[in-house]
Structure 1
Amino acid sequence: MASIPVIDLTGALQPGAPRSAEVAEALRAAGTGSGFFYVSGHGVPRALVDAQFALAQRFFDLPLPAKQAIDLRRVPNMRGYESLGAQTLDATARPDLKESFYCGQAYADDHPYVQRGLHSYGRNQWPTELPEMAGQCAAYIAAMQALALRLMQLMALSLELPEDFFDHTHENPMGTLRLLRYPPHPADADERTFGAGAHTDWGAITILAQDSHGGLEVQMPDGQWLAATPMDGCFVVNLGDMIPRWTNGRYHSNPHRVRNVASGGAPRHSIPFFYNPDYEARVEPVATCVPAGTRPLYEPCTVGEHLREMYAKTYGAGNGAAAMA
């Protein structure tokens, strides 16, 4: 029976650590399968994760006008609040039943990428009612960024590349933290109603913390939908659409969706961190994944070019293209 593997990162959290090769082999198996896996032994303190969930609860409990005051449409880099039903991840489904808050690593106003108005570069918006939010999110982002960079190094090993192969793409990384609240699934919902419609993630790596209610479902390579049941002390990690580009289709970015059907009428909270490399980093199939005498399956592109295309698909050409300019 299909399952999502658990990869223990203990002894593999630093370059050259003794279990790095073993963990890289496990990552290879996950990448060539569903592209999803749990990670334990990740080194992120439980207290930090618990504090982030508590913060998410406080944020979403704010009055609607307080949240709308920092609507993400007020700024060019899509940071801030997104209302219920604002996104449709599956074009064949109804608008997603979720509300969210976006933030990320802050870049100064004089940074060249901020000056160019590139997506995900710039300042965050914070609610005045939660003065602790900026510091808490910055600490969580730093922990997720470090874990994502290590996973990219382990991925390089899994592809028979030097451990530092991807390090040069991290100069000005794009890390987006999203706080999500899903209301209870409607009792009269039809088959086109989801908290988040079926989709693949667009970037490199997603690291997800989810509450105890569950609701995440992953489509396995055989087409079966499998519940990604919450596991104590673990994150769910999935590979985004950049990874098939880098691996010439060897590693997979599989669809997933959310239905908040097992919470007993309570809202579901989840906290994904979307890791993307530098906006100008080049993405093209690595040599170890292109058999001799064959042509790569993907044309080279930059991280920014890839993300502009994906945002335009799910937000509409006007909104998405403008946000990614």
Structure 2
Amino acid sequence: MAADNIAAIPLIDLGDALMPGAPGSAEAARLMRHAATISGFFYVRNHGIDANRVDAQFKLAAKLLDVPPQRRAAMDMRHSPTMRGYENLGAQTLDATARPDLKESFYCGMAYPADHPYVLAGYQTYGHNQWPEEVPEAPAQCEAYIQSMLGLSRRLMQLLALSLDLPEGFFDDTAESPMVTLRMIRYPAHPEGADERTFGAGAHTDWGAITILAQDSHGGLEVQMPDGRWVPATPMEGCFVVNLGDMIPRWTNGLYHSNPHRVRNLHSGGAPRYSIPFFYEPDYFARIEPVPGTVAEGESPRFSACTAGEHLREMYLKTYGMAAKDDAPKAAMA
């Protein structure tokens, strides 16, 4: 990786910071604060997730996205009350000024029990998954991966609290029944002669709290810096790319950033690119308002207070152009 990209997207070693009170926690939190006030992006290594689990998830992603088209159509995410299942090539346009995104996806979430209060209430991201019978191992394997990512997400939120000079467990109460989404994505090679409005994923910010991204070796993710430059988030062996979503600026009164990013599969030699983002959002009723120390005395907060569910619903309505709230799910995916 070029030196300027290392400076732009810092690398945080979690080897001595994986447990509450660990000796490396203060340094990891310091580096996180630096990244969060610039781009909201950083790499993590020695994160505690076994490489074999990540490799197996990429193999599973390929199998899920190779399910025959007619079977995929029957499990289109539009048929799911929780927006789980398949998303076809070109079905999403993350940048309204660009062409439809050149990617296809499979979405799933945590296996909440059917009698969980949030499942019974029909809140988005809680409950129903769609699974193709052609890949029988998918439910158990995805749930195991989700639980691994959930543990890492909760630790990153603890380090985020330390970075804000808050108690390490400040956000713990918001993680009781989190909203999480696991997405497995395949990008075809970038078309020859494509214009400047063609992307695998158009420029966007993520909606939630934290995204943990596993990407294959091809690269293609680009991050916009505050000065407008786009820099590559080049894959690093054994590392995840972590970025902060739009809830974090609301929680920090704009101190921490959620920067735009995009994808162009330009470097794969014609092969598809796979990526696996895990989107962590707190409990549906977690209060999102400026944390202590982020609003100066005599000033007003930059963002109105809301719950996590209200925030995601607002983003869903904005992004998908829903005219009437009654037509939209009760919350949104990242």
Output the TM-score relative to the length of structure 1: 0.98
Q: CA deviation at 1:319?
A: 9.8
Tell me the equivalent position of 1:236: 241
Tell me the equivalent position of 2:297: 292
Alpha carbons of 1:126 and 1:170: their partners in 2 closer, same or farther (altered >3 Å)? same
Question: Does the CA-based 8 Å contact 1:77-1:324 persist in structure 2?
Answer: no
Tell me the equivalent position of 1:262: 267
Tell me the equivalent position of 2:77: 72
Q: Alignment partner of 1:287: what SS? A: coil
Question: Does the CA-based 8 Å contact 1:108-1:123 persist in structure 2?
Answer: no
Tell me the equivalent position of 1:323: 329
Q: Alignment partner of 1:54: what SS? A: helix
Question: Does the CA-based 8 Å contact 2:153-2:280 persist in structure 1?
Answer: yes
Question: Does the CA-based 8 Å contact 2:82-2:127 persist in structure 1?
Answer: yes
**For each residue in 1:272-305, what CA deviation from the matched residue of structure 2 results, as whole angstroms up to 9, or x when unmatched?**
0000000111100012111122111111001011
Tell me the equivalent position of 1:123: 128
Tell me the equivalent position of 1:175: 180
List alignment gaps of at least 5 residues for structure 2. Answer: none
Identity percentage of aligned residues: 69
Amino acid at match of 1:139: A
CA distance in 1, matches of 2:217, 2:329: 33
Amino acid at match of 2:15: T
Amino acid at match of 1:219: Q
CA distance in 1, matches of 2:193, 2:321: 28
- Does 244-253 or 100-109 show the bigger shift? 100-109
Amino acid at match of 1:263: S
Q: Alignment partner of 1:274: what SS? A: strand
Alpha carbons of 1:295 and 1:318: their partners in 2 closer, same or farther (altered >3 Å)? closer
Question: Does the CA-based 8 Å contact 1:88-1:315 persist in structure 2?
Answer: no
Question: Does the CA-based 8 Å contact 2:222-2:231 persist in structure 1?
Answer: yes
Alpha carbons of 1:44 and 1:318: their partners in 2 closer, same or farther (altered >3 Å)? farther
1:301 aligned to 2:321? Answer: no
Out of 89, 93, 98, the position equivalent to 1:88 is 93
**For each residue in 1:177-206, what CA deviation from the matched residue of structure 2 results, as whole angstroms up to 9, or x when unmatched?**
000000111112111111000000000000
CA distance in 2, matches of 1:186, 1:87: 18
Amino acid at match of 2:254: G
Q: Alignment partner of 1:288: what SS? A: coil
Amino acid at match of 2:20: P
1:151 aligned to 2:156? Answer: yes
Tell me the equivalent position of 1:19: 24
Tell me the equivalent position of 1:30: 35
RMSD: 1.3
Output the TM-score relative to the length of structure 2: 0.95
The structure 1 segments of at least 4 consecutive aligned residues displaced by more than 4 Å after TM superposition are 318-321
1:40 aligned to 2:51? Answer: no
**For each residue in 1:123-181, what CA deviation from the matched residue of structure 2 results, as whole angstroms up to 9, or x when unmatched?**
21100000001111011000000000000000000000000000010111011000000
Q: CA deviation at 1:318?
A: 6.0
Q: Alignment partner of 1:163: what SS? A: coil
Q: Alignment partner of 2:310: what SS? A: helix
Question: Does the CA-based 8 Å contact 1:311-1:324 persist in structure 2?
Answer: no
- Number of paired residues? 325
Amino acid at match of 2:147: A
CA distance in 2, matches of 1:87, 1:115: 28
CA distance in 1, matches of 2:32, 2:47: 14
Matches within 5 A, 1:178-197: 178-197=183-202
Q: CA deviation at 1:314?
A: 2.4
